[in-house]
């Protein structure tokens, strides 16, 4: 009845942005795979007896099981292997007088994977990787300056996978979604179906719970070693740098992704409260209130994370992602519309010049709008000078958070402008380490950057709106101290506080989560931007005028001397 009734379904997907999402994610996945330098072999094989005539090898190649949905890639079969090149027949590409070849310079990036899982020597000629009858992917390599053809280059679908999703923060319209490298290779949609550990990209929900509970952006949290007694032994969380930095403002915990600060904060706020907030945002249906989950140990989907971050971007209102914008019947009447907000001025014949129609929202409020703005401001710091500063640099205000799980098994970046939120995750389908160099900022950040440049060009963007009922105060971002009005400099950040909750002068309270801080931790240092503590030592001048490093992990009160309570 639905299809015979002449209903028209209007999708939310933006075709041009979907193409950008595909290309951006594929580029990141292939770059990582290429840098690993392992050739995993042919996708399929064809009997060499069928390769003597063009008509026969073309027919055999058309029947080969190989993904054909990767833009710019072609299916090819190895016809002959010579001393310095391999001749290939390419599906959909006419043969020329000389033929098509993969030269030696195109294979020196790879080492062949042996049957026992080990890798052979680095390839010098195509024959080190290819044999006659192999079915492979190839791509044209062109000159950057004028696009002219250079040579055919060997490709392979990456073993590492990932997902990307982008949506409108106000309506929930999903603008782009990519569930992997190739749908024909794997129809598993990793954006909606893959449950993975979000790692540090979960931390904003811990901080949202704290800010809504009366903490301020400049509340001081101790960044120092802790031990947690669990049923399976002692858990000792660490920062990614393996250092600790002493008392630091709440903002620093987000910008520099401090694990120890986050665990102490979660302990002080209460994991039941954190779990309740995560469930309210839709990150989980049932979050287990374990401290490790404050660092993103419990699995969720990219779909849920992107939808949750949209609520920071839109000021704290609930928004549900959708792939269907509206449905109309055969008479053009709308029988379903996802966006239920009201347009108060749309029936007016005219509007004053420069004014847009007023949109009235009746949606549920998830968090206080000032809390949403405070979190957004902190996550702008992640992009401006924190863990994403090296890869995300858009021409409009941008906020977001990186995530890298233990052993770099999963890497994330979820970020947003004033109107679009987008997220990326990358990892193996069967979780395993991607290596020490893998990080959310380094791998997912460029995917977000490339996509959002195109999205901004199409949809525009602007400043994040400041909610009513608050007041800005200058704060020293290293010490959390309130500064005189008009203060400026690299150390100054203007924080929004609720009316009547102006920050006090000086240091009044420090959040330790119930764990003490040892005596050798630096006080209000510049953290990752300067020297951390944790046994690194400090430089002092001796009576003889020499400069020496004195270890700082020898005083009483360290973990080794039982300085916890």
Is the per-residue pLDDT at 1 higher than 70?
no
The mean pLDDT of 199-217, rounded to a whole number, is 96
Q: What are the residues whose beta carbons fall under 8 Å from the beta carbon of 331, sequence distance 6 or more?
A: none
Rounded to the nearest 5°, which phi and psi values hold at 58?
-65, -40
Residues 329 and 419 in one domain: yes
Residue 366 has pLDDT above 50, yes or no: yes
What's the pLDDT score for residue 428?
Answer: 97
Angle of helix 259-269 relative to helix 203-212, nearest 10 degrees? 40
| Same domain flag for 151 and 88 | yes
What's residue 359's pLDDT?
Answer: 73
Q: Is residue 293 part of a domain?
A: no
Helix (H) or strand (E) holding 376: helix 369-385
Per the domain annotation, does 326 fall within a domain? yes
Q: Which residue, of 418, 443, 467, is where some domain finishes?
A: 467
In a domain, 265, yes or no: no
In this structure, the answer to whether residues 311 and 439 fall within a common structural domain is: yes
Q: Are residues 45 and 175 in the same domain?
A: no
- On the question of pLDDT at 263 being above 70, the answer is yes
Check residue 350 and give its pLDDT. Answer: 81
Strands 324-328 and 8-11: antiparallel
Look at residue 554 and tell me whether its pLDDT is greater than 70.
Answer: no
List pLDDT tens digits, range 276-309: 999 999 999 999 999 999 999 999 999 999 999 9
Does residue 60 sit in helix, strand or coil?
A: helix
pLDDT of residue 510: 66
* 524, 478 Cβ separation under 8 angstroms: yes
Confidence of residue 346 (pLDDT cuts 50, 70, 90): confident
Nearest to 131 by CA among 79, 91, 67: 79
- For residue 561, is it within any domain? no
- Cα gap 17→326, rounded to integer Å: 20
Reported as type and span, the H/E element at residue 77 is strand 73-81
For residues 178 and 145, state if they share a domain: no
Q: Is 317 exposed, middle or buried (0-12, 13-18, 19+ CB in 10 A)?
A: buried
pLDDT at site 468: 95
Q: How buried is residue 36: exposed, middle or buried, by Cβ count under 10 Å (0-12/13-18/19+)? A: middle
Amino acid 552: pLDDT: 41
Contacts of 500 (CB under 8 A, 6+ apart): none
DSSP assignment of 480-504: --B--TT--STTEEEEEEETT-PPP
Per-residue pLDDT of 304-325, as tens digits, reads 999 999 999 999 999 999 999 8
Instruction: Identify whether 137 is part of a domain.
Output: yes
Residues 22 and 46 in one domain: no
Residue 544: pLDDT over 80: no
**Domains: count for the chain:** 2
222-243 pLDDT, tens digit per residue, is: 999 999 888 888 999 999 989 9
| Residues 107 and 150 placed together within one structural domain of the fold | yes
The answer to whether residue 363 sits within a structural domain is no
Residue 335's domain comprises 1-31+159-194+301-339+397-467
Query: Mind listing the pLDDT tens digit for each residue in 387-411?
Result: 999 999 999 999 999 999 999 999 9
On the question of pLDDT at 185 being above 90, the answer is yes
Residues 528 and 242: beta-carbon distance below 8 Å: no
Whether residue 362 is contained in a domain is answered as no
Same domain, 65 and 112: yes
Q: Give the pLDDT mean for 477-491.
A: 93
Verify that 11 and 46 share a domain, yes or no.
no
Cβ-Cβ contacts under 8 Å for 334 (sequence gap 6 or more): 326, 327, 328
With vertex at residue 75, the alpha carbon angle to CA 69 and CA 76, rounded to the nearest 5 degrees, is 170
Q: In this structure, what CATH number is given to the domain that contains residue 402?
A: 3.40.710.10
The answer to whether 370 and 469 are in contact (CB under 8 A) is yes
Q: Are residues 325 and 432 in the same domain?
A: yes
CA distances from 488 to 1, 192, 364, 536 (A): 66, 44, 38, 32
Residue 140 has pLDDT above 80, yes or no: yes
pLDDT for residue 11 is more than 70: yes
Phi, psi of 310 (to 5 degrees): -60, -30
Give residue 535's pLDDT: 41
Q: Tell me how far apart the alpha carbons of residues 16 and 319 are, in angstroms, rounded to a whole number.
A: 24
Report the pLDDT value the prediction gives residue 557, as an integer from 0 to 100: 28
CA distances from 34 to 26, 129, 137, 155, 424 (A): 12, 15, 14, 9, 19
Give domain status of residue 286, yes or no: no
Q: What is the CATH number of the domain that holds 139?
A: 2.40.50.140
Residue 505 and residue 208: Cα distance in Å, rounded?
24
* Same domain, residue pair 168 and 111: no
Whether 129 and 69 share a structural domain? yes
Nearest to residue 343, comparing CAs of 171, 507, 217?
171
Average pLDDT, the chain: 89
The arithmetic mean of pLDDT across residues 318-343, rounded, is: 83
Q: What percent of the chain has pLDDT over 90?
A: 76
Please tell me whether residue 230 adopts helix, strand or coil conformation: strand
């Amino acid at each position: 009845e639905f299809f015979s009734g002449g209903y028209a379904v209007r999708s939310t997907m933006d075709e041009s942005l979907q193409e950008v999402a595909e290309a951006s994610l594929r580029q990141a996945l292939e770059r990582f795979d290429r840098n690993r330098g392992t050739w995993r072999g042919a996708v399929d094989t064809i009997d060499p007896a069928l390769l003597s005539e063009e008509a026969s090898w073309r027919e055999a190649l058309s029947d080969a099981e190989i993904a054909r949905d990767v833009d710019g890639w072609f299916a090819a079969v190895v016809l002959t292997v010579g001393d310095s090149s391999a001749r290939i027949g390419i599906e959909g590409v006419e043969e020329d007088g000389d033929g098509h070849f993969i030269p030696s310079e195109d294979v020196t990036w790879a080492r062949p994977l042996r049957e026992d899982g080990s890798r052979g020597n680095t390839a010098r000629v195509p024959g080190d990787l290819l044999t006659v009858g192999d079915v492979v992917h190839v791509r044209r390599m062109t000159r950057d300056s004028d696009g002219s053809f250079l040579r055919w280059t060997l490709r392979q679908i990456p073993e590492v996978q990932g997902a990307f999703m982008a949506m409108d923060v106000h309506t929930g319209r999903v603008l782009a979604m990519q569930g992997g490298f190739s749908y024909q290779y794997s129809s598993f949609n990793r954006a909606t179906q893959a449950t993975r550990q979000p790692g540090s990209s979960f931390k904003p929900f811990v901080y949202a719970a704290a800010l809504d509970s009366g903490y301020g952006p400049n509340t001081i949290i101790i960044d120092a070693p802790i031990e947690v007694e669990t049923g399976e032994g002692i858990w000792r969380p660490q920062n990614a740098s393996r250092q600790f930095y002493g008392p630091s403002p709440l903002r620093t915990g987000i910008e520099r992704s401090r694990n120890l600060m986050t665990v102490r904060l979660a302990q002080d706020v209460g994991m039941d409260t954190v779990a309740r907030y995560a469930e309210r945002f839709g990150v989980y249906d049932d979050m287990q209130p374990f401290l490790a989950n404050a660092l993103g140990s419990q699995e969720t989907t990219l779909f849920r994370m992107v939808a949750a971050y949209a609520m920071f971007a839109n000021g704290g209102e609930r928004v549900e992602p959708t792939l269907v914008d509206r449905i109309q019947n055969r008479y053009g009447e709308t029988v379903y519309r996802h966006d239920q907000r009201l347009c108060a001025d749309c029936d007016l014949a005219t509007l004053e010049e420069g004014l847009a129609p007023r949109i009235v929202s009746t949606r549920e409020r998830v968090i206080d709008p000032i809390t949403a703005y405070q979190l957004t401001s902190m996550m702008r710091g992640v992009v401006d000078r924190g863990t994403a500063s090296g890869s995300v640099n858009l021409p409009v205000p941008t906020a977001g958070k990186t995530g890298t799980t233990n052993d770099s098994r999963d890497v994330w970046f979820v970020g947003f402008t004033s109107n679009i939120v987008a997220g990326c995750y990358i990892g193996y389908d069967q979780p395993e380490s991607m290596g020490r160099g893998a990080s959310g900022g380094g791998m997912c950040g460029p995917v977000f950057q490339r996509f959002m440049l195109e999205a901004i060009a199409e949809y525009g963007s602007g400043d994040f709106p400041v909610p009513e009922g608050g007041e800005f105060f200058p704060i020293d971002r290293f010490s959390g101290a309130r500064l005189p009005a008009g203060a400026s400099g690299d150390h100054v950040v203007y924080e929004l506080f609720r009316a009547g909750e102006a920050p006090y002068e000086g240091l009044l309270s420090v959040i330790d989560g119930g764990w003490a801080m040892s005596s050798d931790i630096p006080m209000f240092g510049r953290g990752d931007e300067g020297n951390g503590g944790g046994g690194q030592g400090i430089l002092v001048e001796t009576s003889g005028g020499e400069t020496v490093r004195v270890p700082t992990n020898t005083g009483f009160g360290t973990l080794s001397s039982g300085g916890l309570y």
